[in-house]
Amino acid sequence: MEQTKVVVVTGASDGLGAAAARMLARDGHTVVVVGRSPQKTRAVAASIGADHFVADFTRQDEVRQLAAALHDGYARIDVLANNAGGVFGDRAKTVDGFEKTFQINHLAPFLLTNLLMDRLADSQAAVIQTTTLRGGMVRTLDLDDLDHDKDYDPVRAYNAAKLENVLFTKELHRRHHARGVSAAVFYPGNVATNFGSETTSRLMRFLATNRLSRSLLLTTAEKGAEQLVRLAEGDPGRDWTSGEFYAKGAPGRLSPLALDADLARDLWDRSEELLR
């Protein structure tokens, strides 16, 4: 490792995010732990001697407070790892009026990244996004119904949000790479965490909670975190290519929809409109 970095990891109160935070701290980096649960977030941070912040991504005001605290607290942010996310059950709106899955998985990290953009550019930072699919499970993305008012299903909403993560990364690279910001999105494998325990989808809940399925079909949080750590510690342009999707440590294939540059641009514009 050539240099230590300041790495902000969201969704770091447990699972993959916590595992990545521990690995990065072990390697000597300054890690900033961000999570929703005060108790879990504090415990992870204390175990590695890191700073921590609590933010509920269902609330835009807390995302804005988090961005302000990070901006004021750190003169440099080398890596922003947007790892927070989740798949949920019955359709619910946040206090901001957006469907919960959409806000937590896409709109909140989109907002956080943009609020920190000047600091990220000044730091020549990398923005790393966790996703769980290549986009092939989503056939269309209706930019006029990102809240899924017409067709809500918990798994469908989650898959759409994960496609949005890929499109966000592609467009982030296009808009801001010239300023020095690099971006990558990666698939960590099917990680055995409590990630899907709140969903009403029988399959997702079975995978998330059944001990046998977890041992046979899922990978460990530590194994999944290795890819995040590799990207965070790597040098964009040398160790990985900005704007790309990675799976199993190498560039991966994406669906045509995930590679649609016009859709990526329009999603960005639409997301900005929703946050005004």
Q: Catalytic residue at 158?
A: yes
Closest CA to 13 of 31, 48, 38, 49: 38
Q: From CA 271, how far away is CA 166, in angstroms rounded?
A: 14
Q: In the sheet that 126-130 helps form, which strands lie side by side, from edge to edge? A: 51-54, 30-35, 6-9, 79-82, 126-130, 182-187, 244-247, 250-251
Token output for 57: 């991504």
Contacts of 265 (CB under 8 A, 6+ apart): 171, 174
Residues 6+ apart with CB under 8 A from 198: 86, 87, 88, 89
- Of the candidates 74, 152, 158, 246, the residue annotated as catalytic is 158
Determine the Cα–Cα distance for residues 211 and 276; give it in Å rounded to an integer. 44
DSSP string for 88-103: -SS--B-TTSSBHHHI
In whole angstroms, give the CA distance from residue 130 to residue 133.
10
Angle between helices 154-176 and 261-274 (to 10 degrees): 100
**Residue positions annotated with a catalytic role:** 158
